[in-house]
Structure 1
């Protein structure tokens, strides 16, 4: 076995932990929300807060660093699929750092001060909407890493753009209040 194969294996393992773990938590939150299970929602929110810095951040950084090692030594940085992957990583990293972590911290503080309030649950639901976009981006990244599109792979690039657009719609169109969405 060569060194590239070891680095690639570790890259895939780190990505699986990062993407798969977060996706499982998102599904648990959606399930709890749809069932009206307040305690389930709170448990998922606590888990996101606890695992953010301990699991997801290190796994995402390992994914990036191992990917950069492969690019530096073997692949290069000029291919379209590398650029898409790096842009997608930057987007999900920023969402995690600027949206998920601070919102989870604020929600934890609010719960400690006031208990479970409708405002806390509404914030949790808003995070779920943003998570839909985050996972649309991650789906694009996974497809990008597997399919490795070139500029001539227009159908693949269009499909990836459609998934990205649907993720945006699911996150930001759905942020309207329920009454406005029903109208």
Structure 2
């Protein structure tokens, strides 16, 4: 296996964990929309953990190994549209998660634990909307990686 192939393998695995996990989380969230408060609290706790300790590291790994692929390949460069789309989308989704989704998920859990369900519900509503937009951005990134516009 060449260095490029190794970098690509790690990049694809990390992206799969991040994007697949984010889509799965959205589907589970839809299923739990009308669930008992205890179930929603458990899901919020799990998502807080998964976002911080699985999705964010996977995003960093995907970016890092994607960058290594660009550096290793004479055929790819940062000026290519598909790389720009991918890098920008990844940055948007990562920063959205780090700056908004993780802190707001923590806030929602604290509110739920304090018995402030309506306030927690409002926070989770905003988290859900922003998380869905982040998933759309990630899907655009996957499209750019596959279609490679401009190449």
TM-score between both structures, scaled by the size of structure 2: 0.91
Asked if 1:138 is matched to 2:119, the reply is no
Question: Which residue is equivalent to 1:69?
Answer: 68
Q: What CA distance in whole angstroms lies between the structure 2 residues aligned with 1:143 and 1:3?
A: 24
Q: What CA distance in whole angstroms lies between the structure 1 residues aligned with 2:38 and 2:29?
A: 10
Question: Which residue is equivalent to 2:4?
Answer: 4
| CA deviations over 1:116-154 (Å, ceiling 9, x no partner) | 511111211221111111111011000000000118xxx
Question: Which residue is equivalent to 1:89?
Answer: 90
| CA deviations over 1:25-52 (Å, ceiling 9, x no partner) | 111111111x344333222211111112
Question: Which residue is equivalent to 2:32?
Answer: 32
Q: Which has the higher contact order (CA 8 A, sep 6+)?
A: 2
Q: What CA distance in whole angstroms lies between the structure 1 residues aligned with 2:26 and 2:106?
A: 17
> 2:41·2:112 contact (CA, 8 Å) conserved in 1?
no
Q: What CA distance in whole angstroms lies between the structure 2 residues aligned with 1:72 and 1:44?
A: 39
Question: Which residue is equivalent to 1:110?
Answer: 111
Q: What are structure 1's unaligned runs of at least 5 residues?
A: 152-183
Q: Which moved more, 1:70-79 or 1:136-145?
A: 70-79
Q: Which moved more, 1:57-66 or 1:123-132?
A: 123-132
Question: Which residue is equivalent to 2:149?
Answer: 149
Q: What SS is found at the alignment partner of 2:4?
A: helix
Q: What CA distance in whole angstroms lies between the structure 1 residues aligned with 2:149 and 2:43?
A: 36
Q: What CA distance in whole angstroms lies between the structure 1 residues aligned with 2:85 and 2:58?
A: 19
> 1:32·1:41 contact (CA, 8 Å) conserved in 2?
yes
CA RMSD of aligned residues (A): 1.5
Q: CA deviation at 1:23?
A: 1.6
- In the alignment of these two chains, the number of paired residues is 149
Q: What CA distance in whole angstroms lies between the structure 2 residues aligned with 1:69 and 1:134?
A: 24
